[in-house]
Amino acid sequence: MPTVFEAPEINWAAIAPMLVVMAGGLIGIVVEAFVPRRRRHSVQVALSVVALVLAFVALVTLTVDNRVKTLGGSVVMDGMSVFLQGSLIVFGLLGVLTMAEKFGGDRPDAFTPMGAAIPGSAYEAAADRAGLATSEVFPLALFSLSGMMMFVAAGDLITMFVALEVLSLPLYVLVGLARRRRLLSQEASLKYFLLGAFASAFFLFGSALLYGYAATTDLDGIAAAITETRPGLEPLLVPAILLVLVGLLFKVGAVPFHSWTPDAYQGAPTPVTGFMAAATKLAAFGAILRFVYVGVEGTRWSWEVGLAVIAALTMVVGAVLSVTQTDIKRLLAYSSIAHAGFILVGVLAFSTLGLRGVMFYLLAYGLMTIAAFAIVSMVRQGGTEATQLSQWAGLGQRHPILAATFGFLLLAFAGIPLTSGFTAKFAAFAPAIESGTLGVVLVVIGVLASAVTAFVYVRIIVLMYFSDATSEDVVAAEASPLTTAAVAVGAVATVVLGIVPGPVLELAAQASELIR
Amino acid sequence: MIAQVVSSGVTSLALDGARENPLADFSDTPLWLTAIKAVGIFAYLLIQVLLVIWFERRVIGRMQQRPGPNRNGPFGLLQSLADGVKSMLKEDVRPKASDAIVFTVAPILFASMAFVAFSIIPLGPDVSMFGYRTPLQLTDLPVAVLLVLAAAGVAAYGVIMAGWASGSTYPMLGGLRSSAQIISYEIAMGLSLVAVFLYAGSMSTSQIVAAQAEQGWFIIAAAFSFVVYVITMVGETNRLPFDLAEGEGEIVGGYFTEYSGMRFAMFFLAEYINMFTVSAIATTLFLGGWQAPPGIAAINDGMFNEGWWGLLWFTLKMWLFMFLFVWLRGTLPRTRYDQFMKFGWKFLIPASLVWIVLVALVRGADAGFFGDSTFGILGRDFPVPVLFILGAALLLMIIGFTLWDRAAERRRAERREESVIDVDPFAGGYPVPPLPGQRLVEPGSARVGRTQTDIHTDASGSGAATAVVVSDKED
Amino acid sequence: MTNPYTPMLILVALGAGFVIFSVGLAQIVGPKRYNRAKAEAYECGIQPSPQAAEGGRFPIKYYLTAMLFIIFDIEAVFLYPYAVAFDQLGLFTLLAMFLFLLNAFFIADAYVWKRGGFEWD
């Protein structure tokens, strides 16, 4: 019997973190099926935390020493993959901690008891009375995270697409599971799903054209094909690259493709919003970096102006629209759009330093975002989250520590010195200035946009400290140690990365190598 | 990497991929001969449908100790033909609320697609026709069996279209039920075929038949798959005991309630052709196709395995299944819808999967994946790992049965404990069936007093019963 | 050699021709006697309940069945090419397929089963 099929080389040590996270998700499904309902929540939280910690341990013990291309080149575990996967695991851990928050109840507070029920129906009420809980959120988060980890390490377009779907599909479900304001949540989920499917289609069209051009989906192969001339096929190349970039830029929420961001951020359960804002952005930028730096850098002159325009638009629109927002979650959504633009400026530097800056920015931004959304989930009025800005008036007088932490995080978003936001912006913008005129123009726009966003953030701080409360019953809920820990980690990291960024920048510098 | 796999896969196909491709050789068959064969198959099917309707009514009649139709023609043979003419001369009513186009397209689609599957069934070996050497098969593809499943999927469209377009309650319910039934059993059917593909290494029907000439009929090697297939084929064709979609007592006629005249006759025709199709697939995949039964095959150096004889064996085997259909109809009552779905999803699918794993292991041992040592039984060599696989499977089965037995025993015990309440069925003056948790006591029994029963009946009212059900639901 | 799908088309065309001919002929040959009651929806003799072809709502259970079908059927279809190419694929792929079955079928099945996805009433 001839054995023609050659099994690909697999470096198990290199992909161990991904496998651990996926296995955690699968075991989570089994737990969901067989563990009694009362104990499910605690078992799921414990399982997720253990899986993530194990994955992190595997990453720092096994994977760092096995920086290889494996699985036949479809997974590339280089410095960037390791750094970004490590960041993703940390985000996942913080995200799981915030999702587990119960605020003194017996079930996770942010999630509906029965996602399939019609909002406000008797069925939903019965599910609530029966004490049901959607503890599937933890396996879903793990699956999504495993997709993200694969996304940043994908070495060919097909693996990238599979990873894109694996990370997206659980998120669509998670977005639709908010306990309160169900209709808004379902609408957000549907919008996110439809637009996401649309963007996936763009990505696939682009991949198909690239395959037509290069006769391979391998990023290295595409890079090699670009250096040769391919008579008759040249017209395929630039549309292909732009289509793939559209698919990827959708995930980061860059401007012409950002319209889902405010709705999805607002409708999603707040812990999910935090997780999504931090981790999805990081994963998508990881994929953009790899696609742009490894795959198609050779033809960069033909599309970098387009990307620069998108970056500029993203910064301006994100910053300007955040001024008009009255809902704190929407405001943070527009701020995240603006940040996507800032990060794109770093991407456009096309240098190792730029890579370092972008990775550092992603880590710093993710940590502050998760903490910020965790605080948003704690501020409540009458049992629901108080997301209207007017409700936040005077919060600083009643909850000084909470308001101070939030204010500090806002300053970090604005990029005030001594916060991680400043070092991150500096690390991303400095290489861009060195890269040429285009970079300088973008940085000028970025600084101006930062000034606009700073105005928005300072306005919230003023609101919290210097105006009188409109109603007295807006309170910061007594959070469990889990959320407190997540907020503390985020805030402390923001301080540390702002004052002594050296070690982490050094780590990012070491990690900024791409295996081609 | 994927490109590599694809390209190496393609070369492997080119190297030794003869098995995936059809064996039947149509190179000597001109198009006009193909057309003649198509007409032949068409006539073969129609005549058999007329015959089988008569056959079914006669056999059911015998089973119920009555003669069945015996007026038209010898033994009533022309009865079906007379019925066909009659439906032609009847008014073809279309309800006011129905959708004009879809209502007509549904039976046409349903009936036309019923013919597709027969084009890939090998009815016999190569024969000579008008001086050409041609297989007794219309065409063959590397994915022939998959195509049959696809055609069966189109049947679901016909059903749902008919149900929807009638603009009436019963057809709507019937259409939904029937399509849910078809798709549910299609999974189990698809899974039962995997074992055959594993053995044959091909999805082409002519290759599968040839593989059975070498390896013996797959009814032995894939016995469990055969059982699953036979069950699902009854479910797929909406026949008793699974004719829930047409249950007269429940939803009148199901999706064709509003149909009459020729449009109804087309559904009728298609359902019978579908029965032939699934039987023909069963014959081809599990019973050696057109090959002669083992004893007869040995006579005179395989004389009966040649030429037109194949058609005879094939038809006989197919009619065995037709008899099975009739026999089932004459014997079994209709299942309940939830029982039917439960059986499909909770037994057939998981069990088929376990069986696939087992077959794959045995095949792997055969192909030498686990080492090359062999042992001989009955003059044939088997790889040693087969022993381990069978042993492990046996062990698993024993453990499974033990656990199942204990669980069943526990359930029985619970039920015994529950059913402590005795009720007098005639307490209210009328016979009343027992509620869950009640046990009937014959009215003659003197021990049950009136007042006592009333109290019991109240205590076990619907509230208590539903509470039990709800608490059972999840954990 | 002709395209292997051509004979299939011939057979389908024959079948479709027969069906359309029969249905069409019945329209011509069959009687037409209008009666208002005949054109009503059939509901065992009672007044037809006013419900609609278009806009009638399906029970959600059927959507669940349809989704389960899509998921499991696609997984089943993955098994076909694997089964056909079994000999060439070797031990590695055998184990990979078992892993696929474990993840995609057994775990998914157990989950749907235990959470009541297979309960019909």
- Closest-CA distance of chain B to residue C120, Å: 5
**Omega of the bond leading into C7 within 30 degrees of 0 (cis):** no
Largest CA distance in chain B: 91
Which residues from C are below 8 Å from A121, CB to CB? none
Measured in whole angstroms, how far is the alpha carbon of residue B106 from the centre of its chain?
Answer: 22
Domain contains A182: no
Please say if the pLDDT value at position B388 is more than 60: yes
Give, in order, the Cα–Cα distances in Å from A398 to each of A392, A476, B194. 11, 9, 68
Supply the Cα-derived Rg of chain C in whole angstroms: 25
* Predicted pLDDT at B468: 36
* Predicted pLDDT at B456: 44
Please say if the pLDDT value at position A202 is more than 80: yes
* Predicted pLDDT at B213: 86
Let me know if C115 is exposed, middle or buried by CB neighbors in 10 A (0-12, 13-18, 19+): middle
Instruction: Measure the CA–CA gap between B381 and B373, rounded to whole angstroms.
Output: 10
Which residue in chain C is spatially nearest to B250 when comparing CA positions? C44
Which residues from C are below 8 Å from A5, CB to CB? 85, 88-90, 93
**What does pLDDT average to over chain C?**
81
- CB-closest option in C12, C31, C106 to B115: C12
Hey, are the CB atoms on A30 and C93 less than 8 Å from each other?
Answer: no
Instruction: Measure the CA–CA gap between A113 and A115, rounded to whole angstroms.
Output: 7
Q: Chain B within 8 Å of A71 (Cβ-Cβ)?
A: yes
Which residue in chain C is spatially nearest to B191 when comparing CA positions? C76
* Predicted pLDDT at A480: 85
Which residue in chain C is spatially nearest to A35 when comparing CA positions? C114
Q: Are B272 and B265 in contact (CB under 8 A)?
A: no
Q: Chain A within 8 Å of B112 (Cβ-Cβ)?
A: no
* Predicted pLDDT at A170: 95
Boundaries of every domain in chain C:
6-114
Residues sharing a CB contact under 8 Å with residue B373, sequence separation 6 or more, in sequence order: B383, B384
State the average pLDDT over residues C94-119.
85
Reference A307, options A357, A255, A269; nearest CA is A255
Hey, are the CB atoms on A5 and B8 less than 8 Å from each other?
Answer: yes
- CB-closest option in C39, C49, C65 to B180: C65
**What does pLDDT average to over chain A?**
90
Would you state the structure tokens that stand for residue B338, as one six-digit string? 């939830």
Hey, are the CB atoms on C59 and B16 less than 8 Å from each other?
Answer: no
Which residues from C are below 8 Å from A33, CB to CB? 110-111, 113-115
CATH of the structural domain C6-114, one choice from 1.10.1660.10, 3.40.50.300, 2.30.110.10, 1.20.58.1610:
1.20.58.1610
* Predicted pLDDT at B306: 79
Hey, are the CB atoms on C79 and B356 less than 8 Å from each other?
Answer: yes
Reference B49, options B269, B261, B267; nearest CA is B269
Instruction: Measure the CA–CA gap between A90 and A366, rounded to whole angstroms.
Output: 10
Range of the domain at A321: 303-516
Residues of A with CB under 8 A from a CB of C: 1-5, 7, 26, 29-30, 32-34, 116
Hey, are the CB atoms on A216 and B5 less than 8 Å from each other?
Answer: no
Hey, are the CB atoms on C87 and B180 less than 8 Å from each other?
Answer: no
Q: Could you tell me what percent of chain B has a pLDDT over 70? A: 81
Q: Classify residue C53 by its DSSP letter.
A: S
* Predicted pLDDT at B473: 41
Helix, strand, coil percentages in chain C from 3-state DSSP, rounded to 5: 70, 0, 30
Reference A339, options A446, A433, A427; nearest CA is A446
Confidence bin at A200 (pLDDT 50/70/90): very high
Domain contains A189: no
B428 vs A220, which has greater pLDDT? A220
Hey, are the CB atoms on A71 and B474 less than 8 Å from each other?
Answer: no
Q: Are A416 and A454 in contact (CB under 8 A)?
A: yes
What is residue A233's three-state secondary structure?
coil
How high is the ipTM of this complex?
0.89
* Predicted pLDDT at B281: 93
Confidence bin at A2 (pLDDT 50/70/90): very low
Confidence bin at B436 (pLDDT 50/70/90): low
- CB-closest option in B2, B367, B368 to A158: B2
Which residues from A are below 8 Å from C60, CB to CB? 116
User: Which amino acid would we find at residue B213?
Assistant: A
Helix, strand, coil percentages in chain B from 3-state DSSP, rounded to 5: 70, 5, 25
Which residue in chain B is spatially nearest to A71 when comparing CA positions? B1
Q: Are A280 and A148 in contact (CB under 8 A)?
A: yes
Buried b / exposed e over A105-130, threshold 16 CB at 10 Å, is: eebbbbbbbbbebeeeeeebeebbee
Hey, are the CB atoms on A7 and C90 less than 8 Å from each other?
Answer: yes
State the average pLDDT over residues B153-179.
82
Angle of helix B169-200 versus helix B144-165 axis, rounded to 10: 180
Angle of helix B349-366 versus helix C86-100 axis, rounded to 10: 140
Would you state the structure tokens that stand for residue C89, as one six-digit string? 């694929």
Would you state the structure tokens that stand for residue B261, as one six-digit string? 């005249």
Q: Chain B within 8 Å of A72 (Cβ-Cβ)?
A: yes
Q: Chain B within 8 Å of A215 (Cβ-Cβ)?
A: yes
Would you state the structure tokens that stand for residue A105, as one six-digit string? 């109840």
Give the H or E element holding residue B125: strand B124-129
Hey, are the CB atoms on A33 and C111 less than 8 Å from each other?
Answer: yes
Q: Chain A within 8 Å of C92 (Cβ-Cβ)?
A: yes
* Predicted pLDDT at A1: 42
Mutate to test the interface with C, among A4, A19, A44 (most CBs of C within 10 A): A4
Which residues from A are below 8 Å from B8, CB to CB? 4-6
Please say if the pLDDT value at position A159 is more than 70: yes
The DSSP result for A170-198, as a single string, is: HHHHHHTTBSSSHHHHHHHHHHHHHHHHH
* Tokens 């200035």, residue located: A433
What φ, ψ does residue A70 adopt, rounded to 5°?
Answer: -140, 180
Instruction: Measure the CA–CA gap between B272 and B237, rounded to whole angstroms.
Output: 8
pLDDT digits (tens, 9 = 90+) for A330-382: 999 999 999 999 999 999 988 899 999 999 999 999 999 999 999 999 988 88
Number of domains forming the structure of chain A: 1
Please say if the pLDDT value at position B174 is more than 60: yes
Which other chains touch chain B, taking contact as 3+ CB pairs less than 8 Å apart?
A: A, C
Hey, are the CB atoms on C107 and A34 less than 8 Å from each other?
Answer: no
Confidence bin at B16 (pLDDT 50/70/90): very low
- Closest-CA distance of chain A to residue B381, Å: 17
- Closest-CA distance of chain B to residue C67, Å: 10
Please say if the pLDDT value at position B11 is more than 50: no
Q: Chain A within 8 Å of B400 (Cβ-Cβ)?
A: no
Which residues from A are below 8 Å from B4, CB to CB? 72
Please say if the pLDDT value at position B9 is more than 60: no
Which other chains touch chain A, taking contact as 3+ CB pairs less than 8 Å apart?
A: B, C
* Predicted pLDDT at C54: 53
State the average pLDDT over residues B7-26.
56
Confidence bin at B55 (pLDDT 50/70/90): very high
Instruction: Measure the CA–CA gap between B462 and B438, rounded to whole angstroms.
Output: 12
Which residues from B are below 8 Å from A36, CB to CB? 475
Please say if the pLDDT value at position B13 is more than 50: no
CA angle, A56 then A60 then A63, to 5°: 100
Give the H or E element holding residue B215: helix B205-215
Q: Chain A within 8 Å of C68 (Cβ-Cβ)?
A: no
Instruction: Measure the CA–CA gap between B148 and B114, rounded to whole angstroms.
Output: 10
From chain A residues 5-44, the ones with a CB under 8 A of any chain B CB are 5-6, 8, 36-37
Hey, are the CB atoms on B169 and C51 less than 8 Å from each other?
Answer: yes
| CA atoms within 13 A of residue A45's CA, in its CB half-sphere | 18
Would you state the structure tokens that stand for residue B117, as one six-digit string? 């599957």
Would you state the structure tokens that stand for residue C72, as one six-digit string? 């499991």
* Predicted pLDDT at B10: 39
Residues sharing a CB contact under 8 Å with residue A24, sequence separation 6 or more, in sequence order: A47, A48, A50, A51, A52, A54, A55, A139, A142
Residues sharing a CB contact under 8 Å with residue B249, sequence separation 6 or more, in sequence order: none
Hey, are the CB atoms on C90 and A32 less than 8 Å from each other?
Answer: no
Give, in order, the Cα–Cα distances in Å from B179 to each of B98, B154, B260. 19, 10, 21
Beta strand segments in B277-418, E:
374-377, 380-383
pLDDT digits (tens, 9 = 90+) for A247-274: 999 999 998 899 999 999 999 999 999 9
Please say if the pLDDT value at position A472 is more than 80: no
Instruction: Measure the CA–CA gap between B219 and B212, rounded to whole angstroms.
Output: 10
What is residue B129's three-state secondary structure?
strand
- CB-closest option in B3, B4, B16 to A2: B16
User: Which residues face B308 on adjacent strands?
Assistant: none
- Closest-CA distance of chain B to residue C78, Å: 10
pLDDT digits (tens, 9 = 90+) for B188-216: 999 999 999 999 988 899 889 988 888 88
Confidence bin at B92 (pLDDT 50/70/90): confident
Hey, are the CB atoms on B191 and C79 less than 8 Å from each other?
Answer: yes
Which residue in chain B is spatially nearest to C17 when comparing CA positions? B112
State the average pLDDT over residues A118-124.
85
User: Which amino acid would we find at residue B462?
Assistant: S
Which residue in chain A is spatially nearest to C102 when comparing CA positions? A26
- B-C CB pairs within 8 A amount to 236
Which residues from B are below 8 Å from A132, CB to CB? 474
- CB-closest option in C11, C31, C86 to B119: C11
- Closest-CA distance of chain A to residue B475, Å: 5
pLDDT digits (tens, 9 = 90+) for A74-103: 999 999 999 999 999 999 999 999 999 888
- CB-closest option in C90, C103, C110 to A3: C90
Instruction: Measure the CA–CA gap between A485 and A93, rounded to whole angstroms.
Output: 11
